C-alpha cells in the first residue's frame, strides 16, 4: 500500500516557464532534457498554452499525470507570448523563474549556470545571449534578423541603460519576486518581455549574460515574425505615450489613417480616371479600404494574435467589415447630431471620425481579434 504521508519534497527552487503554441511533439523530449540538466527535484515546468489546435495542452496534462513537476495553464481565447510568460511566472511558488522556448532552440543544459548566477547574488537577471562572445546563433532563421537584432541592441542600451548583447533573448532567469513586483507595470503586448522587464525595473537591474548555442527549432513552425525594429518602436511609444493613448489604439488609428489614403486613391482612380459612377466608385473604395485595414491590422496591430488560415481570416474579415459598418453608423450619427446643434462642420466631422474609430477599435478588438 502506498503511504502518502512519507512524501518528503525537496524545496522548490526553480520554475521553467514554457509558453507554447502547437509544440506537442517538443514537450516530452524537452522535459527529459530539463531533468537531465537539473536532476530529479527542486524544479517545476509550467506549460502556458494558448489553446493550441495540435493538443499541446492535452499532451502536457498527460505528462503531468505521471510527473507532478509538470503543470499546465491552458488559456482560452487569449494569445500572446509576453502575456503567457508573465502569467506563467506569476503562477509559481518557486523563488527563481526561467523563461524558455518549448521548441528546443534554448539548451536546458545552461539552466544550472543561469540559476547559480542569480542565486549567488552575482546578478539580478541572467540572460542566455545569442550574441555574447562565445555564443553561436546558427539557429537564427536569417542573417537579416540577426542584423536587425544588432541595431535593436543599440536602441535597447539607450532605453534600458544596461549594456547588453541580446536584450531580445527569450531565454533568461531571475527572481520570481521581481517579476511579481513588476507585473502590474509590464505591458504584456508582443514578444519583447525581457526588454519590458529591463526597462521597467528601477533602479536598473544588475545583468549578466551567458553565451548560448542557439539551435534550430526541433519540430513545428516558428509563430513569430519578430520584426525587431517594429517591436522597438512600439516599446518606445509605449513608454512615452502608452498611458495617454494605448499602444494598440494608436496602431489601429494609424492603420485607419492609411486606410483613408487608400480610400481616396481608389476613389480618385475609379471616379476621375475610369469615369465610374460616383456611388460605385465610393462603394469600391470603401470595400478596398476596409479590406486593406483588416489586412494591415491583422499584420501589425494584432501581430501577436494574428489570425491564420483561410477560415479564420475569412471569418475575421467578415467580422471586421460588420464592425466597420457599425462604426460608420456611429460616425455619421454623431457628426450629424453635432452639426445640427450648431457645431462647426469640420469639428463635427472630426468628432464623428474619433467616435467611429473608438467604436471600431472596441468592437474589433473584442469580436475579431478577441474572444467572441
Ligand X SMILES: Nc1nc2c(ncn2[C@@H]2O[C@H](COP(=O)(O)OP(=O)(O)O)[C@@H](O)[C@H]2O)c(=O)[nH]1
Q: Which one of Mg ion, ligand X, none interacts with residue 23, CB within 5 to 8 A by kind?
A: ligand X
**Sheet bearing 172-175, strands edge to edge:** 70-74, 43-49, 14-20, 96-99, 172-175, 125-129, 207-211
Residue 50 in the binding site for Mg ion (CB under 5 A): no
- Which one of ligand X, Mg ion, none interacts with residue 81, CB within 5 to 8 A by kind? ligand X
Residue of closest CB approach to ligand X: 222
- Binding-residue total with Mg ion (CB under 5 A): 4
**CB closer to ligand X out of 74 and 200:** 74
As measured in angstroms, the least distance from the Cβ of 104 to Mg ion is 8
Instruction: Say how many CA atoms lie within 13 Å of 21 toward its Cβ.
Output: 18
Q: Which does 331 bind (CB under 5 to 8 A by kind): ligand X, Mg ion, none?
A: none
Using the rule CB under 5 A, which residue among 23, 49, 59, 103 binds Mg ion? 103
Closer to Mg ion by Cβ: residue 33 or 217 = 217
**Which of 20, 105, 149, 284 is the binder for Mg ion (CB under 5 A)?**
105
The least distance separating ligand X from the CB of residue 187, rounded to whole angstroms, comes to 15
The nearest distance, CB 21 to Mg ion, in angstroms, is 10
Q: Which residues bind ligand X (CB under 6 A)?
A: 19-21, 23, 48-50, 79-81, 84, 101-103, 105, 170, 217, 222-224, 226
CB of 232 to ligand X, least distance (A): 16
Site string for Mg ion, 83-102 (x = CB under 5 A): ------------------x-
In whole angstroms, give the CA distance from residue 236 to residue 249: 15
Amino acid at each position: 500500500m502506498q503511504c502518502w504521508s512519507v512524501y518528503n519534497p525537496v524545496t522548490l527552487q526553480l520554475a521553467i516557464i514554457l509558453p507554447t503554441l502547437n509544440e506537442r511533439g517538443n514537450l516530452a523530449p524537452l522535459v527529459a532534457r530539463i531533468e537531465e540538466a537539473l536532476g530529479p527535484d527542486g524544479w517545476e515546468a509550467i506549460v502556458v498554452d494558448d489553446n493550441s489546435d495540435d493538443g499541446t495542452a492535452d499532451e502536457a496534462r498527460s505528462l503531468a499525470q505521471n510527473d507532478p513537476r509538470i503543470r499546465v495553464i491552458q488559456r482560452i481565447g487569449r494569445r500572446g507570448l509576453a502575456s503567457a510568460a508573465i502569467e506563467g511566472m506569476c503562477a509559481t511558488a518557486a523563488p527563481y523563474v526561467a523563461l524558455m522556448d518549448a521548441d528546443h532552440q534554448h539548451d536546458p543544459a545552461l539552466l544550472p549556470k543561469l540559476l547559480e548566477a542569480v542565486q549567488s547574488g552575482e546578478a539580478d537577471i541572467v540572460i542566455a545571449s545569442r550574441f555574447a562572445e562565445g555564443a553561436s546563433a546558427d539557429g537564427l532563421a536569417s542573417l537579416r534578423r540577426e542584423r536587425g537584432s544588432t541595431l535593436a541592441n543599440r536602441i535597447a542600451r539607450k532605453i534600458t541603460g544596461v549594456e547588453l548583447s541580446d536584450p531580445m533573448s527569450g531565454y533568461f532567469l531571475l527572481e520570481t519576486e521581481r517579476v511579481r513586483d513588476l507585473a502590474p507595470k509590464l505591458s504584456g503586448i508582443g514578444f519583447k518581455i525581457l526588454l519590458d522587464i529591463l526597462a521597467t525595473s528601477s533602479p536598473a537591474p544588475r545583468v549578466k549574460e551567458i553565451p548560448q548555442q542557439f539551435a534550430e527549432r526541433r519540430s513545428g513552425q516558428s509563430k513569430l515574425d519578430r520584426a525587431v525594429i517594429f517591436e522597438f518602436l512600439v516599446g518606445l511609444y509605449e513608454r512615452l505615450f502608452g498611458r495617454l493613448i494605448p499602444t494598440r489604439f494608436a496602431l489601429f488609428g494609424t492603420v485607419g489613417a492609411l486606410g483613408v489614403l487608400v480610400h481616396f486613391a481608389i476613389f480618385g482612380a475609379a471616379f476621375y480616371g475610369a469615369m465610374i459612377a460616383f456611388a460605385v466608385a465610393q462603394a469600391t473604395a470603401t470595400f478596398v479600404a476596409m479590406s486593406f485595414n483588416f489586412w494591415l491590422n491583422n499584420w501589425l496591430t494584432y501581430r501577436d494574435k494574428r489570425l491564420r488560415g483561410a477560415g479564420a481570416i475569412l471569418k475575421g474579415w467578415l467580422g471586421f467589415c460588420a464592425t466597420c459598418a457599425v462604426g460608420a453608423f456611429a460616425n455619421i450619427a454623431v457628426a450629424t447630431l453635432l452639426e445640427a446643434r450648431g457645431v462647426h462642420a469640420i469639428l463635427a466631422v472630426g468628432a464623428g471620425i474619433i467616435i467611429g474609430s473608438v467604436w471600431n477599435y472596441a468592437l474589433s478588438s473584442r469580436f475579431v481579434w478577441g474572444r467572441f
